[in-house]
């Protein structure tokens, strides 16, 4: 538990902060053989090598494809490939981990095993795992703490369900999820943590795309929760990205919102070309850094 010693911001004050680097990830979920994974990574590397975009891109293959994805990434970074020409970075993520370091946990994967596959990012608490695999706020919290302790960057998924939305408790749900997930972490650690706001009603085939303005409002609720638990600085450093039926067409709308730091993409990025298109559309719509403002809540008309 952390006490919030930082002075709270003035009532209604907010800071437009574009200092956080854009983060765009894609989970392949239960898709792709090793050969398909290698081809995807090769295509993505080719594009990144020539791209000027300043973005953190992260792919989350299934466990079985992590070694080959890692090998493909390493070959992209071979001497002579001039990685310094690339402003962006491409990281390897895993879709889950156990909080214990080893032992009798059939079917589970530890942080050490992920590090052994050159994984640097781990997804925790996806809505599907909360709904279908018994993931709880407490297990998410334990996984986040173990990930950080092991040197992995956690991407912690939070999101309201259709019922939360229907009964008007979505903000309470995501605030609770965020506070519990981050409970064991020091404020200084939050610069390496990503919160992915993915409402259950927006995810997957049949999901309803969330309006950018509604996502922005929820991201501010999330940042308020982090401010309450970990202080102002941590709330400004943590990256909050959004997911659920994100594609190249709706990515620009999210890019224009100041509390949205990036995207977590599913179906639209199942091909490398699809992922690249989402990244390009998002980055093209980002407002110039010098147009940022410090203002008061409600004073939003000239933000973009
Ligand atoms: C997801 O489930 O995290 C996700 C973003 O999926 P989709 O984009 O396919 O809705």
Question: Would you state the pLDDT for residue 289?
Answer: 60
- Alpha-carbon distance of 120 to 122, in angstroms, equals 7
pLDDT at 79: 59
State in Å: Cα 249 to ligand 1 middle: 15
Residues 6+ apart with CB under 8 A from 78: none
pLDDT for res 159: 98
Nearest to 199 by CA among 127, 278, 247, 125: 127
Choose, from 98, 126, 219, 230, the residue flagged as catalytic: 126
pLDDT interval class at 36 (50, 70, 90): very high
pLDDT tens digits, one per residue of 179-236: 999 998 999 999 999 999 999 999 999 999 999 999 999 999 999 999 999 999 999 9
The Cα–Cα gap between 29 and 209 comes to 19
**Mean pLDDT, range 110-136, rounded to an integer:** 98
Pick left, alpha or beta for residue 103 (phi over 0 → left; psi -120 to 50 → alpha; otherwise beta): left
* 126 part of the active site: yes
Set out the domains of the chain in order of their start, with CATH numbers. 19-286 (3.20.20.70)
219 is known as an active-site residue: no
CA 175 – CA 34 distance, rounded (Å):
38
Lowest mean pLDDT segment, chosen from 117-126, 156-165, 209-218, 284-293: 284-293
Q: Say which range, 6-15, 23-32, 236-245, has the weakest mean pLDDT.
A: 6-15
The alpha carbon of 203 and the centre of ligand 1 are apart by a number of angstroms equal to 5
Q: Is the pLDDT of residue 118 over 90?
A: yes
> Six-digit token pair at 25?
């990830």
Of 265, 268, 271, 278, the residue with max ligand 1 atoms within 8 A of its CB, to mutate for a pocket test, comes to: 265
- Is residue 176 exposed (0-12), middle (13-18) or buried (19+ Cβ within 10 Å)? middle
Q: Is the dihedral of CA 90, 125, 259, 251 positive or negative?
A: positive
Atom of ligand 1 nearest to the CA of 27: 3
Q: Could you count the other beta carbons within 10 Å of the beta carbon of residue 163?
A: 12
Confidence category of residue 288, pLDDT binned at 50, 70, 90: confident
Q: Which residues contact 21 (CB under 8 A, 6 or more apart)?
A: 54, 55, 56, 239, 261
Model pLDDT, residue 284? 96
Mean pLDDT, the chain, whole residue set: 89
Residues within a 6 A CB radius of ligand 1? 27, 198, 203-204, 207, 243-246, 264-268
pLDDT of amino acid 156: 98
CB distance 152 to 120 below 8 Å: yes
Tokens encoding 36 = 């398909």
| Closest by Cα among 202, 175, 189 to 263 | 202
42 pLDDT above the threshold of 60 = yes
């Amino acid at each position: 538990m952390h006490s919030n010693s930082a002075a709270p911001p003035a009532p209604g004050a907010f800071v437009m902060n574009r200092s956080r680097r854009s983060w765009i990830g894609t989970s392949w979920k239960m898709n792709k053989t090793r050969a398909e994974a290698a081809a995807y990574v090769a295509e993505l590397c080719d594009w990144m090598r020539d791209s000027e975009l300043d973005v953190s891109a992260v792919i989350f293959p299934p466990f079985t494809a992590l070694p080959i994805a890692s090998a493909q990434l390493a070959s992209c970074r071979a001497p002579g490939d001039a990685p310094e020409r690339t402003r962006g970075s491409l990281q390897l993520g895993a879709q889950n981990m156990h909080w214990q370091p080893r032992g009798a946990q059939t079917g589970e994967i530890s942080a050490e095993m992920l590090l052994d596959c050159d994984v640097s990012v781990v997804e925790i608490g996806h809505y599907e795992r909360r709904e279908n695999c018994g993931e709880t706020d407490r297990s998410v919290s334990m996984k986040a703490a173990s990930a950080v302790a092991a040197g992995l960057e956690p991407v912690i998924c939070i999101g309201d369900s259709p019922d939360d939305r229907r009964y008007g408790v979505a903000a309470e749900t995501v605030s609770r999820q965020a506070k519990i997930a981050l409970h064991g972490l020091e404020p200084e650690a939050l610069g390496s943590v990503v919160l992915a706001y993915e409402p259950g009603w927006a995810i997957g085939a049949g999901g309803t795309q969330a309006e950018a303005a509604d996502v922005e409002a929820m991201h501010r609720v999330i940042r308020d929760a982090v401010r309450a638990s970990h202080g102002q600085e941590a709330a400004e450093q943590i990256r909050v990205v959004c997911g659920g039926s994100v594609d190249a067409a709706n990515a620009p709308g999210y890019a224009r919102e100041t509390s949205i730091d990036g995207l977590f993409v599913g179906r639209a990025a199942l091909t490398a070309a699809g992922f690249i298109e989402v990244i390009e559309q998002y980055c093209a719509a980002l407002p110039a850094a010098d147009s940022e403002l410090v203002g008061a809540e409600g004073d939003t008309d000239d933000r973009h």
